[in-house]
Amino acid sequence: MLSNVEIKAKVSNPAAFAQKAAQLSQSEGTIIQQHDTFFTCNRGRLKLRDLMNGSGQLIFYERPDTDGPKLSRYSISPTSDPSSLRTVLSESLGVKGEVRKERRLFLIGQTRVHLDTVEGLGHYMELEVVMRPEQTVEEGQQVATDLMEQLGVSAESLVTGAYMDLILKGCKDT
C-alpha cells in the first residue's frame, strides 16, 4: 500500500489561504470537481471518486481519526466508468454517503495541498505529504507541520475524520 501523512483543517479565509498556497507552489493551482461516494465496508474507508470528466478512482484507505499530521495508507484503482462501478458497489455494499466538492490543488514539494469547498460543509484545506520509501512517519509529520506554519494553519482549526464523517455528524461551517 502507498502512504502519506495528512492533515485537514477548516479555512476561515479561503482567498488568503489560496494566495499563500499559490506563492509557495508558484502556480494558481488546478481546479478539480469531485463527487465521492462512500461505501459500507468492514474496515477503513472505501470511496469511488468521480472526477466528473468520464474518469474516476476507487480508493481504499485507512487512517486514524485524530487531528494533526497522521499516517494514511491507501490503494487506488483507476476507472473509466465510474457510473457503472458506483451502481455495482452500491448494490453489493450499500452507500454510506456522498461528498461533493470543488478542489483547488497546489503542489508544494512532495505535498499535495488542497483547498476544498465542500457542499454542505464550507471551506477546508488538506495537506497530503506523499511519503518517499526511505522516509519515516516522523519526517512526513515534520513536513506537514512546517507547511502548516508557512500556510498559517493553526492547531485550533484542525479537524478529525473524513468529510463524510463531518457530513454525517451534521457539522457546518459558520
Find out whether 7 and 133 touch, Cβ atoms under 8 Å.
no
The residues spanned by each domain of the chain are 2-169
Q: Which CATH class is domain 2-169?
A: mainly beta
**How far is CA 42 from its chain centroid?**
21
Q: Is the pLDDT of residue 170 over 90?
A: no
**Locus of grid cell 481519526:** 65
Query: What is the value of pTM for the model shown?
Result: 0.89
Q: Is the pLDDT of residue 36 over 60?
A: yes
Q: What is the pLDDT of residues 118-166, one digit of tens each?
A: 999 999 999 999 999 899 999 999 999 999 999 999 999 999 888 999 9
